[in-house]
Amino acid sequence: MSEPTTERQIAPPRTWLILGERTGDNAQVLALGRALGWPGTIKQIHYDDSCSVDFKDRGASLTGVDLPRSDPLTAPWPDAIIAIGRRSVPVARWIRAQATRPPLHIHLGRPRVDLGLFDLVITTPQYNLPDAANVIEITLPFVAVDAEDLGRAAALWHERFAALPRPWTAVMVGGPTPQLAFGVGEADRMLTELVDFRATHAGSLLVTTSPRTDTAVVAALKAGLARIAPGQHLFIPYEVGVDNPYKAMLALADRFVVSVDSASMVAEAATRQKPIHLVHLPKIPPKVKPGLKSALSRNWRLRRKARQDSELPADPLDRLYDFWTRRGKARPRRDIDQLENRLIAMGVAQPLGAASETNESAFKALRNETETALGRIQALWHERSAK
């Protein structure tokens, strides 16, 4: 009689990490792969932007993939796939279709198709996905902050930081998104709020931007910082090929100011377990599509969102909307306020200008969420292996 399968006998799955063309998305995939500790192979996929087939109509195929520029997708096929973004969905489905035994499929974020296509979807609050047996929501995305990398960056930048009075506040500036405005007006408002912030916290500002920061915003920040914190700030905007202090800021700052457009920057700051202040950004009204069908869909979506915000119990129309969302037929609008409100309610962060101190229980809650998600993935693999 063969021995029963035990946890010790279950080998970790050969895992393909499907990367696309968004640095932030790729970082989440790599961070989850690292956290799991499974043997992983990176599969860099490049897409053909001229492809006219909507991603929802590509099925399980490589339609829209720039094959000559992408890594080869050939046997031996993986035991597990970790992917993110809507364009990865047809690719991952195609890979599953090639394998004799379909690999475990973990998707991060919001796939925008039928949620039943995945073994597990790990999402965050701004996507507002409804409850489902194969959906787990965590507050912040997976990030990987390497202690050795931070140490090297700290050693490189410490002397330059040391010329400035402490405490050091790291100001991490993002940029506009399809849902959020971040122009000169928002930069000026942030600078005004930083004046009040410094009156309370004193010290110096260590400021950097991201690839999405508009050049006009960079100019406004440069002039504004010279005005509000002369001799007490370091401003090094992001530039390709130029050394950036971002990692050193993570390592050495006493507190953080982060614009809410980047959940990844907030998540990386949260790993440091220091006070975090959020820079709120105004929403951009969605474009109104013409036609009766679009109007009905829009009003249904707005009704569902308004009832959720009012914490009303789901009625039949709400449940029908959630059903269609699970099927990929309805799509709640990305709402960063959901994430911002969650962070504030948990005590992970506070609005810029509000009092904020280190909340160890809030950071512990974040760690518990990620550990729960990792445990769920491990359990899925153990169940698959035991069959």
Q: For residues 216 and 260, what is the distance between their CA atoms, to the nearest angstrom?
A: 19
pLDDT at 8: 53
Q: 1 in a domain, yes or no?
A: no
- CATH classification of the domain holding 44: 3.40.50
Contact indicator for 83, 91 with CB cutoff of 8 Å: yes
Q: 15 in a domain, yes or no?
A: yes
CA angle 263–265–271, rounded 5-degree value? 105
pLDDT at 1: 42
Regarding whether 310 and 274 lie in a shared domain, the answer is no
Regarding whether 353 and 245 lie in a shared domain, the answer is yes
Cα dist from 3 to 6, 9, 379, whole Å: 9, 10, 20
Regarding whether 156 and 272 lie in a shared domain, the answer is yes
Regarding whether 185 and 84 lie in a shared domain, the answer is no
Regarding whether 102 and 23 lie in a shared domain, the answer is yes
Regarding whether 297 and 266 lie in a shared domain, the answer is no
Regarding whether 232 and 311 lie in a shared domain, the answer is no
Q: pLDDT means per 10 residues in the chain (387 residues)?
A: 53 97 92 96 96 91 96 97 96 96 96 95 96 96 94 96 96 95 97 94 96 97 97 95 95 97 95 96 89 91 92 95 95 92 95 85 96 97 89
For the four alpha carbons of 76, 81, 83 and 87, in that order, the dihedral sign comes to: positive
Contact indicator for 72, 103 with CB cutoff of 8 Å: no
Q: 25 in a domain, yes or no?
A: yes
Q: 226 in a domain, yes or no?
A: yes
Regarding whether 215 and 316 lie in a shared domain, the answer is no
Q: For residues 313 and 319, what is the distance between their CA atoms, to the nearest angstrom?
A: 10
Contact indicator for 188, 150 with CB cutoff of 8 Å: no
Regarding whether 250 and 324 lie in a shared domain, the answer is no
- CATH classification of the domain holding 236: 3.40.50.2000
Q: 21 in a domain, yes or no?
A: yes
Regarding whether 113 and 165 lie in a shared domain, the answer is no
pTM (2 d.p.): 0.91
Range of the domain at 315: 292-332
Cα dist from 20 to 38, 46, 128, 306, whole Å: 20, 6, 23, 34
Regarding whether 195 and 298 lie in a shared domain, the answer is no
Q: 374 in a domain, yes or no?
A: no
Q: 276 in a domain, yes or no?
A: yes
pLDDT at 312: 95
Tokens encoding 326? 């699970």
Q: 68 in a domain, yes or no?
A: yes
Number of domains composing the chain: 3
Regarding whether 199 and 58 lie in a shared domain, the answer is no
Question: Which residue bears the tokens 């005590």?
Answer: 347
Tokens encoding 195? 């004046």
